[in-house]
Structure 1
């Protein structure tokens, strides 16, 4: 590397949020697109990982963020999330252009001398939707690029859909699969007429996770369900699936999306969807 003018000496390693050039040069992807889809479809979303060197950089960055904002949650609430507006803060950018989402934010940002003051989101109004779907009003949504993406190929965007509206809801999650959804989360795929990689392919992909020490016996997932249970889980994720299909047009994009189960959620009480999107 270096002969094409993109080597480490040309792209110095910085601190704080990484740039796309830094990701390409200093944190090259550990996973292929097929491996990513296999991990998503495996039943254990904990297999999805960030580059370990990038994770160390994140940990250092997080210390400074906590000092300034009080917590990562406050940072998200007070600064990073752009409710009802396009993401103008990302260093990574996206090929997807949002339009028609210029509605006012749910609340104004607080002054800079109060950044560390804990602040909850205001209560949802009585007419707010019961659960997240394709028709959720934009003022309840913040779509941003993951500033600290997982180790995805360079042609894959890692986007986060944050929403104030619940994703897991009793009206969607049948009681018979509630424990399964709470352990495994939800996931799906769009933009491809072929089925996603079978979980049976996972053993061939596990070497890519060797540096994280992941083995089959360490996986956390439910036992294989019946066809009826699988359909109930699919229906529980259908509103998210339809939202993803509407934003990432299937003629142009292939995606793998997932919603972490509660045990893996970084901000309890504030739902978000991960979307890996690959332009065709």
Structure 2
């Protein structure tokens, strides 16, 4: 009862708005449904579709998206013409981050469109001939936009949900041989940094199912590849090494523990524009 009274008092102090939520709104009106352990278990389960946004926050997002499409023509136009600040620190986030990006001062690859042109379908400019073949820890900042997820998944309040958008491909034939292509295209890539202990075993997923009850999830609804051979598992791990190295370089392991993933094509919000989800918890 005391907890309910405190929640009601906080809800009065923090009014519920519309559009992108503030951190205070997330804490009071959309409290985390997943623990850090559960979050890591979902990522390591093999089905990245288990990661969810609070259902009420999802409804708010859907309403916001209607206005975004009216103004910009599409969510992709919104991202490319406004939200993604190529080569620059994220100054548009309402959530903020404890990580400071140093050296991200390269001018954007192209200037934003005028207000009148926001609804015009827009393509990214072609990559120059000397652009890297695939994303890695050495990718130049002008090809990267690191932003806080304005609509984060239902993660604990101490966990930052960051998106690393990149114009450079993450899935590349050099990294993803034909023998694992179908698996990566179905499952995506994921990894963990900043912890010497292994991540939770996928076999422990059933113990985390209560956290997914309101989404109606059951084990028979999982979408994932069949268990691969040890050789295939190693190839998948190697395919994720460049992303893992980038994460380790930005979120120093002595300060941060992270869980990251790259959605498979079936779950990508903007096909053709790659991005990494990084969940980071300060130690």
TM-score by length of 2: 0.97
Deviations 1:176-211 (A, max 9, x none): 111100000000000000000000110000110011
1:235 aligned partner:
238
Matched, 1:123 2:126: yes
2:207 aligned partner:
204
Q: Residues of 2 paired with 1:277 and 1:199: CA distance?
A: 20
2:270 aligned partner:
267
SS at match of 1:223: coil
Q: Residues of 2 paired with 1:110 and 1:203: CA distance?
A: 48
In structure 2, relative to structure 1, the CA distance for the partners of 1:223 and 1:8 (3 Å cut) is same
In structure 2, relative to structure 1, the CA distance for the partners of 1:194 and 1:6 (3 Å cut) is farther
Deviations 1:57-93 (A, max 9, x none): 0000000000000000000010000100000000000
1:85 aligned partner:
88
In structure 2, relative to structure 1, the CA distance for the partners of 1:35 and 1:4 (3 Å cut) is closer
Q: Residues of 1 paired with 2:161 and 2:98: CA distance?
A: 11
Q: Which runs of 5+ in 1 are unaligned?
A: none
Moved over 2 A (4+): 1-6
Q: Is the CA contact (8 Å cut-off) linking 1:6 and 1:25 kept in structure 2? A: no
> How far is 1:5 from its partner?
9.6
Q: Residues of 1 paired with 2:147 and 2:50: CA distance?
A: 22
> How far is 1:6 from its partner?
6.3
1:174 aligned partner:
177
1:136 aligned partner:
139
Q: Residues of 1 paired with 2:10 and 2:116: CA distance?
A: 41
SS at match of 1:9: helix
1:221 aligned partner:
224
Q: Decide which of 236, 245, 250 is 1:247's aligned counterpart.
A: 250
1:26 aligned partner:
29
> How far is 1:101 from its partner?
1.1
SS at match of 2:157: coil
1:66 aligned partner:
69
SS at match of 1:143: strand
Q: Residues of 1 paired with 2:69 and 2:178: CA distance?
A: 38
In structure 2, relative to structure 1, the CA distance for the partners of 1:6 and 1:233 (3 Å cut) is farther
> How far is 1:226 from its partner?
1.1
Q: Residues of 1 paired with 2:207 and 2:82: CA distance?
A: 41
SS at match of 2:214: helix
> How far is 1:165 from its partner?
0.2
Deviations 1:1-37 (A, max 9, x none): 5549961011000000000000000000000000000
Q: Kindly report the root-mean-square deviation, in angstroms, between the aligned alpha carbons of the 2 structures.
A: 1.1
SS at match of 2:240: helix
2:158 aligned partner:
155
TM-score by length of 1: 0.98
Q: Residues of 1 paired with 2:117 and 2:225: CA distance?
A: 44
> How far is 1:227 from its partner?
1.0
Q: Decide which of 14, 26, 33 is 2:17's aligned counterpart.
A: 14
